[in-house]
Amino acid sequence: MTDRPGKAAIVEKPRTERAAEALAAEGVYDPGRRIEAYDADRVALPVTRPPIETDVEAVVDLDLPARERGLADVLRSRGVPADVVEAAPSSWAVIGDVVLVDFGDVSAARTLDRGSRETIGEALLEVHGDADTVLARGGISGTRRDPAGAVVAGSGDTETVHTEHGIEYALDLSETMFSPGNKAERARMGDVVSAGERVFDMFAGIGYFSLPMARAEASVTAAEIDPTAHRRLVENARRNGVAARVEAVLGDCRSVETAADRVLMGYYDAHEYLDSALEAVVSGGVVHLHEATPEALFPGRPIGRLRDAAAATGRTVDVLGARRVKSHSAGTVHGVVDARIE
């Protein structure tokens, strides 16, 4: 393996994940080189040019080692036909020791029969030596957000523990959804909340947002309607030492009576529950409204829905910000609007 000449952005170690995500979003991150320690407290992130939007300590000339062989390299070394190599997914997520991959968005999907998917899955296990199962991502359905998927390679064990920003999420990917694209938003929720705040997480799942907020010493009422996800929520609160700050409620969030300084609505159709959110949030409190929105209608549509719902109860809305969390599908974004309610 040879080093590649280039530049590196220097950041403090605790910021590694978020800085890398920001550099990638800015289009300056170099995925062909590895992240390396720069000194005892800082890391060097490979970049193609100095960033403009991302805050870094410095940009230096540094030869960082090239990344190890990628999926296409492994497939070619195994003599896989060129059309299958070309059709292989270009991105995937490693959740604990499970590789979660979407085979549905590739241009040459006709080549990816069951055997081809298994071949790609076995190659992914070689690329990610610590993983033991490859799971093909399916859709999410119903109000309980049940995932569909199929094991394509490995042991078939979909139960795992995923660590992110120092938080451990225990889950079974065959029965519980986990969105890698929400990673930065999960971290942000831990940053925006203050110690002692009362939070109402209306769609808590296994603790995606509740855990970072509880770790920041907020008091979280976390509602989850699915018994399986609720069981994991309770387990994860204990696992992360925040059980005393998480009240895990099994049931429909609309039946929960609480007063909150901050209401988190992490569900694509959360606008249908705005009446309950506005009933829970105190004057001066903040609502985080998530929505899957056609790109041309963001953030206008969710803001309009929030204003209309607030007006119906005689309250006002001060929009604090709106951000795109990730791409949901072609032409549709997963976005969130932050608003103060008076």
Annotated binding site for S-adenosyl-L-methionine: which residue ranges?
179, 186, 224
Edge-to-edge strand ranges of the sheet holding 36-37: 36-37, 42-47, 7-12, 58-61
Give the dihedral of Cα atoms 83, 86, 87, 88; nearest 10 deg.
Answer: 120
Annotated binding site, which residues? Answer: 179, 186, 224
**Nearest of 288, 310, 309, 312 to residue 299 by alpha carbon:** 288
* Both structure tokens of 30: 């170099």
- Cα 117 to chain centroid, rounded: 25
How many C-beta atoms lie closer than 10 Å to residue 114's C-beta?
A: 9
* Both structure tokens of 228: 């399986």
Q: How far apart are CA 299 and CA 306, in angstroms?
A: 11
DSSP 302: H
**Nearest of 147, 89, 138 to residue 116 by alpha carbon:** 89
